[in-house]
Amino acid sequence: MKTASTFNDALVRVKSLAELANINPEIIEGLLHPKEIMMVSLPVRMDDGSQQYFSGYRCRYNSILGPTKGGVRFHPNVNEDEVKALALWMTIKCAVVGLPFGGAKGGITVNPKALSPMELERLSRVYIRVLADFIGPHRDIPAPDVYTNSRIMGWMMAEYDAIKRTHAPDVITGKPIELGGSLGRDDATGRGAYLCTLELINKMGWNLTELSVAVQGFGNGGYHVARLLQQAGCKIVAISDSQGGIYSEDGFDIESLWQGKQQSKQVKGVYCHGSVCEIVKHERISNEELLTLDVDILIPAALEGVITKNNANKVRAKAIIEIANGPILSEADDIINNKGIKVVPDVLANAGGVTVSYFEWVQNRSGQAWTIEKVHTQLKERMTAAFEKVWDLAEKEQRTLRESAYVQALRRISSAVEAHGTRDYFNHN
């Protein structure tokens, strides 16, 4: 169950953690207000000849650290409130990993699984058509998010190029490789979370091969983190998708689960209609039950607001790696912390995606194509350095990892505001 406002929940954290960071209240006040948000109606000609309208959003939350950056989500629950919260989290996330980006997010209120591939393409293109002047390689750079993928990014870039009569691969990241996408962007979010998990395991002195893991969500992030952790020797005992979950004490072979899901995907084109429930022998569990399993590591990799004050007490994992954005509501923070559960927060754990997006943008701007080895090395360097900084401050000042990550991000943003000089002090436009 979600709270009424995801954005308010995001603000609660910023306000309380800003006090810890000891930051000028005026700077924090600036962070409580999104810079700009576009709400648009998107007319789409459907395959049956009818015209349907969809609501679209794009929020540029804060650009103090650079052009704004963030994904575009296609989901029935997308709304202005959620987009603002996600854009705020992008602002914090880019600051945590030290990228030269501000935060943004966009989305369309749609169930993409109900559209044909052609309808989906027309919807993606009209979104860019109405936002062509809002985004831009130096202004705002979209990327994939929930239920969007490289193919959709390719359509969006092609539409932008056609409108602007240019070739601007740096306007969007997460593109197909053929259109200037980066090697290693596809599994970057999962790989970043995997690297954070390894760091945590190391710090805690745990033995990787003795650990059991439950993953809620079998999209891009969930699949890759599960795959990499399994390859490293962990046992993935539970996994779920939007249809429900499966549990096996012996652990699953993630690759064959994924292949099963891909087969059902081919039936329908871009989107997968199959559920992990239909693929292997298992004990069926609900998404809710997965969260409270007796496992070592819990990885929420689906949507926000799944751990609340109502179920936080029942969580039995020793650690939570947040791949989803905002899976733990602020109301549950104290309960989880008091139980001694280590949480690697979303703004660090899922930052691998935007980090490789940054590499993609750098490659596009410099006309280079990095090798996969270079992408992996650079991602590891950045993620490990960010984790170490967050961990060290948490140890030094007796804070949680979330507090430490926010404190560092807020301090970085605050220093940038101060370095800007006095113009913003006198002019608020």
Just list the catalytic residues: 105
Q: Round to whole Å and give the CA distance between 22 and 20.
A: 5
What number of chain residues touch ligand GLU (CB under 6 A)? 12
Tell me which of 110, 143, 290, 329 binds ligand GLU, using CB under 6 A. Answer: 143
Would you count residue 173 as binding ligand GLU (CB under 6 A)? Answer: yes
Task: Report how far residue 188's alpha carbon sits from residue 174's, in angstroms, rounded to the nearest whole number.
Answer: 10
The verdict on 71 binding ligand GLU (CB under 6 A) reads yes
User: Of 18-26, 67-75, 304-312, 420-428, which part binds ligand GLU (CB under 6 A)?
Assistant: 67-75
User: Which stretch in 69-77, 116-124, 247-255, 389-397 sits in contact with ligand GLU by CB under 6 A?
Assistant: 69-77
The rounded distance, in Å, linking the Cα atoms of 414 and 64 is 9
Based on the shown chain and the rule CB under 6 A, indicate whether residue 59 belongs to the binding site for ligand GLU.
no
Q: Does 350 bind ligand GLU (CB under 6 A)?
A: yes
Alpha-carbon distance 204 to 202, whole Å?
5
Nearer to ligand GLU by Cβ, of 70 and 300: the residue is 70
Strand order in the sheet with 140-144: 36-45, 51-62, 102-109, 68-75, 140-144
Strands of 187-234 (E only): list them: 212-216
**Alpha-helix residue ranges (DSSP H) falling in 46-139:** 80-96, 117-131
User: Closest Cα partner for 86 from 134, 37, 154?
Assistant: 37
Closest distance to ligand GLU from the beta carbon of 152 (Å): 12
Q: Does 181 bind ligand GLU (CB under 6 A)?
A: no
Q: Are β-strands 235-241 and 244-247 bridged in parallel, bridged antiparallel, or unpaired?
A: antiparallel
Determine the Cα–Cα distance for residues 85 and 6; give it in Å rounded to an integer.
6
Min separation Cβ 353 and ligand GLU, Å:
4
Closest CA to 72 of 107, 96, 41, 110: 107
Using alpha carbons only, give the angle 332, 334, 335 rounded to the nearest 5 degrees. 65
Q: How far apart are CA 206 and CA 318, in angstroms?
A: 11
Q: How far is the CB of 260 from ligand GLU (least distance, A)?
A: 26
Of the pair 70, 190, the CB lying nearest ligand GLU is at: 70
The reply to whether 9 sits near ligand GLU by the rule CB under 6 A is no
CB of 380 to ligand GLU, least distance (A): 17
> DSSP assignment of 7-39, as one string?
HHHHHHHHHHHHHHHT--HHHHHHHTS-SEEEE
Nearest to ligand GLU of 274, 326 (CB atom): 326
Residue 376 in the binding site for ligand GLU (CB under 6 A) = no
Q: Is 303 or 312 the residue whose CB approaches ligand GLU more closely?
A: 303
The smaller minimum CB distance to ligand GLU, of residues 124 and 357, is found at 357
Q: Which residue's C-beta sits nearest to ligand GLU? A: 71
Site for ligand GLU contains 319 (CB under 6 A): no
Beta strands 102-109 and 51-62 are antiparallel
In the complex with ligand GLU, which residue's Cβ is closer, 6 or 212? 6
Distance between CA atoms of 312 and 307, rounded to whole angstroms?
6
CB of 155 to ligand GLU, least distance (A): 17
Three-state DSSP at 239 gives strand
Regarding 322 and contact with ligand GLU (CB under 6 A), the answer is no
Q: Does 70 bind ligand GLU (CB under 6 A)?
A: yes
357 binds ligand GLU (CB under 6 A): yes
Question: Is residue 325 involved in binding ligand GLU (CB under 6 A)?
Answer: yes
Among 354, 383, 401, 405, binds ligand GLU (CB under 6 A): 354
Please identify, among the stretches 2-10, 261-269, 347-355, 401-409, the one whose residues bind ligand GLU according to the rule CB under 6 A. 347-355
Strand 36-45 and strand 297-300: pairing? Answer: unpaired
Question: CA torsion 216→219→224→225, rounded to 10°?
Answer: -20
- Binding site residues, ligand GLU, CB under 6 A: 69-71, 143, 145, 173-174, 325, 350, 353-354, 357
